Structure 1
């Protein structure tokens, strides 16, 4: 489908106030759209349904589903281009300087409290987040989605809308779980520093420890639900203007998808360790509702045809094809929630015993720039 027709159809669907999601997987030029035919709020109870799911940080709350059976699916090829426009000097916060100073003071105090609690051995790590409101100079979500596509080619980029819930956009570098048949991959993603031209920089002890904590959690949590567990070497990845540490974990599932997702979500990269105590600290102390920030989203139980041979000239081997069920779920990082006049940008950082509160504030400031680049 021509991209102009694809985005025109999307705009018409949005104007009719009907639910939809646009998304593009990392390192691809294909944009997919799922367009719900009515405005009912569907939910997934056990992750056995088929469609696109959007789940909040608080796993006790409902997972929203755009179901395959009640939707039309379209796709197009979108050519992304480098976007070098500078946005920082054009941005206008909805918050006054006094409000921003208050936000900084509150965040630093909360991080300090978290560090103290960690040193008391209540938990090993906790993720402290905040949201910042920015005035919208461009309010059309489809145009903002295109900018995200241009700027974050290695991320999972999406625009999700439901008239009874809200409008969200994001460009997340983190996979929660990718499953084809019974083969799965996931990742440990932790540690952050600003990209300054070196794709393989030096990492401090705080970041490497945080990364190891997340990796160990994944391995220990998955052992009862998988076989052939494989842990790759740690690598540095770039997401926008930030660098992170990533470890790929893969294997074969021996239990159902719901059980595995329950074990993984919320991950230590967005919650902490141990998960239950860290999550309770967040809910008791962050003083705002994360909603879908640091939840997960993506394709759920989609049927996909695969062939054994990619050589198109070998017609005989291409006849050996199979339809497999795939799920591709991503952690909802680097995201924002939109209204007609403002964007709420959500950011956070992992806190360990070696964290420095002032540095953690600055890390959230750096992360807001990832989303602010599209708001001009």
Structure 2
């Protein structure tokens, strides 16, 4: 039975951990994966593999066996009713200044069909390994359940005293770039994330913020701002994850208890998988990389979940957000060949 974790850097270099995995509450001295849910509720998020293999780039290691059968999934179109209700309530709270931003998640469900008597998604690991440069790959598979994807969003990278992160928010098709760069709603959504990161990191040292740029990833265009800080102390990795997650790119603003409670309720009503938008990372050598686990799929047996989220601010319109959700799911389907 498959028991593995995978982490791939944007340049294609990757690490594959094989089980059984030991678990720990705190970062261990050696290499380990960081796997948690969106609520950061795991008491032991550090997963220490029995075997860790470094892969320079490209294919999986020779000893690692996955099926070559591309999965077939029958999808059910998501209903608009619950999402439309969430959209209206969130926008009402934004317009009444109770919120500045919130990210509801819509999940499209599917059924994995048997082929040659098998229901197997391991072939998608090759798709993650072959994802375009600029994306981080991630995967966690435990028997007949798991999740994987290729995300454009870095939560944090820490090496020595330097911590790097990014604001990634605002979405458009690549051929819509000219109108996108002046879109007030998309700029507002992005700048809320950048401002949050600046404020969150300010107590840790001098923050450096780059210029807002456009970034293309897997067929979509986003605004992206690089953020870094030279740490004046040596905060532990768990506290750094908690400080940044969830950013307003996948969560809410303000990030107070009342807003987070509303976010949790919307995620529950819309059946957002626990892994979606959660931090996923790898501590290897003297570096720690953690990404936001979006742009992927999850499964449990033959039930498959494909999720997407959108940021709702004052300038949001339902039709625009509904289209953005579809574009994001379609980009995942293309990437994974589904």
The verdict on a shared fold, with TM-score over 0.5 as the criterion, is yes
Alignment of 1:1-376 (within 5 A): 16-17=1-2, 19-28=3-12, 30-36=13-19, 38=20, 42=23, 44-47=24-27, 50-62=31-43, 64-67=45-48, 70-79=49-58, 92-93=74-75, 95=76, 100=78, 103-136=79-112, 139-163=119-143, 166-196=145-175, 201-225=180-204, 227-253=205-231, 254-256=233-235, 257-276=237-256, 277-286=258-267, 287=269, 288-300=271-283, 302-303=284-285, 325-373=286-334, 374-376=336-338
The count of aligned residue pairs is 316
Deviation by residue 1:70-104 (Cα, 9 ceiling, x = unmatched):
52111234448xxxxxx9xx9631x2x6xx3xx21
Measure the CA separation in 1 of the matches of 2:88 and 2:195.
25
Q: Is the 8 A contact 2:250 2:277 kept in 1?
A: yes
Compared with structure 1, are the counterparts of its residues 260 and 22 closer, same or farther at alpha carbon in structure 2 (3 Å cutoff)?
closer
Q: CA RMSD in A?
A: 2.5
Structure 1, 46-55 or 257-266: larger mean CA deviation = 46-55
Per the TM alignment, residue 151 of structure 1 is displaced from its structure 2 partner at its CA by 4.0
Measure the CA separation in 2 of the matches of 1:136 and 1:360.
28
Per the TM alignment, residue 267 of structure 1 is displaced from its structure 2 partner at its CA by 1.0
Measure the CA separation in 2 of the matches of 1:348 and 1:271.
10
Gaps of 5+ in 2: 60-69
Compared with structure 1, are the counterparts of its residues 63 and 207 closer, same or farther at alpha carbon in structure 2 (3 Å cutoff)?
farther
Q: Is the 8 A contact 1:91 1:372 kept in 2?
A: no
Q: Is the 8 A contact 2:252 2:263 kept in 1?
A: no
Measure the CA separation in 2 of the matches of 1:221 and 1:117.
23
TM-score (norm 2): 0.85
TM-score (norm 1): 0.77
Compared with structure 1, are the counterparts of its residues 283 and 198 closer, same or farther at alpha carbon in structure 2 (3 Å cutoff)?
closer
Gaps of 5+ in 1: 1-15, 81-86, 304-324
State which structure, 1 or 2, has the greater radius of gyration over its C-alpha atoms.
1
Deviation by residue 1:191-244 (Cα, 9 ceiling, x = unmatched):
01122275995341011111111111111111112x232101111111111111
Measure the CA separation in 1 of the matches of 2:179 and 2:50.
43
